[in-house]
Structure 1
């Protein structure tokens, strides 16, 4: 089976590797153009492009699938296009070019969390179960009929990055199974059913922490936007990036010996209590992990707090 693989970030690489390992003839990779990275803004290929080069697979670099790109795709005479986090829309003119269309691996249990950031929204919403779906791409946003699904438990401590990493590997297995079923003529896509929810791309504003919310909501928000776009809060006139937080459970209390005063901090108030850095919320305090002040490196919250608290009271806003 001749396959075009469309993908860009690191989470798409396991699917590319799985298709090659399963014996599919991956005739080309479609990925986004090289982009400037780092402080020196060095033009860098996408993770999928880098892996395709290692595998000696033809690479089509395009941020838009326009007429010339569609012609390149058509010339490859692919049986199917597999798409995982490509990062661009597939226009209607391209949908019918491969014989079996475009099969998308999406990291949610459709029709839940249609859109660009399904894993982030699942963590923020406090979902206990998520997964991945393979579906036939059509003109609507993640609306096509579904070939298969797999499930994955969301751990209380999961960041969206950790959860997405697990899904990228288990989802790769699902994609291989789906394409094998299509090749054998036994795969059947069925219409989506159930409640629809949307997962638009998160902005920097979405990543700002509202300390007046309950502790559980604060943790979900911070974990959901970690690592991207990255949780942050304001300290005076400075923007401070912060790492995952944990709830002040009985076990955490025993290990850090937090005081009653520390547990009852005002929203955003910071206190160093034993080995724990606590931050007040709309309910109980949370235990802060890492901190990255503006212009400085990421550091353990304890190291940051010992120095910062010497300057006086700390309150995030």
Structure 2
């Protein structure tokens, strides 16, 4: 089949490369426009755009996929299907109708669970034991289209969202190519999503990522891992924001938010048992072990994370 690939962040790269290496003909790549990054807010091409530059295929960067000029360019590529991984823009029906087999999305959950922008983060935060990836045909309703195939992945006890997403991206690339294979040879048909366990996975905001130390230790641990690496869980100390890396269990109990420092550890109280801080990042500083951060402060006892 003639395939156009649509994606933007690094997590889409395994699928882009898998499609390019498959028997299907990669005839174009669609990605989001260059975006400002870093302190200098310099315009930077997306990871998918950079990778596409090495593949020798047309690269389209529409401001929005509803733009008539983009749709004309896409139509000229004559795609049989558009493969999508984390593209990052809503597709109007006029664009969905261009490829004869539609737009085939690789979504990182077991649909209908966790429809939305942050399925991996929400799955970890909720304490799920298993997640996976699903290929489905995109329809107007959010992540509600008929499905082609699934893969499952165990959520490990210390997984961050970054860890889990990396595994799903690699495994999902094979699932996406297998789905295209089945569509091409007529052995695979999309089936409506079944079950009443629809759950939503909206994007996690910076405000959502603030830790409430009165919560149970297990809930805080899941929150921090779900928000790692983005948007980054955080708290405040002495009125300044402190970004938190993954935590680990500690012995005993402390009042919520109260800090106890030792030679090689910093322990903080929660609504249940205490937790040991991992890496932390103060404003304007690089990430560092919590014990190193603590050694640079003056302690009088009774300090708290707010």
User: TM range, normalised to the smaller chain?
Assistant: over 0.9
More helix by share: 1
Distance 2:193 2:119 in 1: 16
Aligned residues: 304
Deviates more, 1:130-139 or 1:49-58: 49-58
**Structure 1 stretches (4+) deviating beyond 4 angstroms?**
none
1:266 aligns with 2:255: yes
Structure 1 residues 165 and 267, CA, compared in 2 at 3 Å: closer, same or farther?
same
1:108-257 pair list within 5 angstroms: 108-194=109-195, 195-248=197-250
Does residue 1:88 correspond to 2:89, yes or no?
yes
SS at match of 1:19: helix
Correspondence for 1:44: 44
1:293: which partner in 2?
Answer: 282
CA contact (8 A) 1:157 1:246 kept: no
Between the aligned partners of 1:309 and 1:269, the Cα distance in structure 2 is 15
Describe the superposition over 1:9-53 as per-residue Cα deviations: whole angstroms up to 9, x where unpaired.
Answer: 000000000111113211111000011111122211000000000
Deviation at 1:312, TM superposition (A): 4.7
The 2-side partners of 1:15 and 1:272 are apart by 45
Matched, 1:12 2:20: no
* TM-score, length of structure 2 as denominator length: 0.97
Which of 283, 291, 296 is 1:302 aligned to? 291
Cα deviation, residue 70, structure 1: 1.2
Task: Name the counterpart of 1:21.
Answer: 21
Does the 8 Å CA contact 2:263/2:291 hold for their aligned counterparts?
no
**What secondary structure, in the 3-state scheme, does the structure 2 residue paired with 1:175 have?**
helix
RMSD over aligned Cα, in angstroms?
1.2
**1:311, 1:280 → 2: CA distance?**
17
Kindly provide the CA deviation profile for residues 82-113 of structure 1, in whole angstroms up to 9, marking residues without a partner as x: 00000000111111110100000000000000
Distance 1:80 1:30 in 2: 13
TM-score norm. by structure 1 comes to 0.93
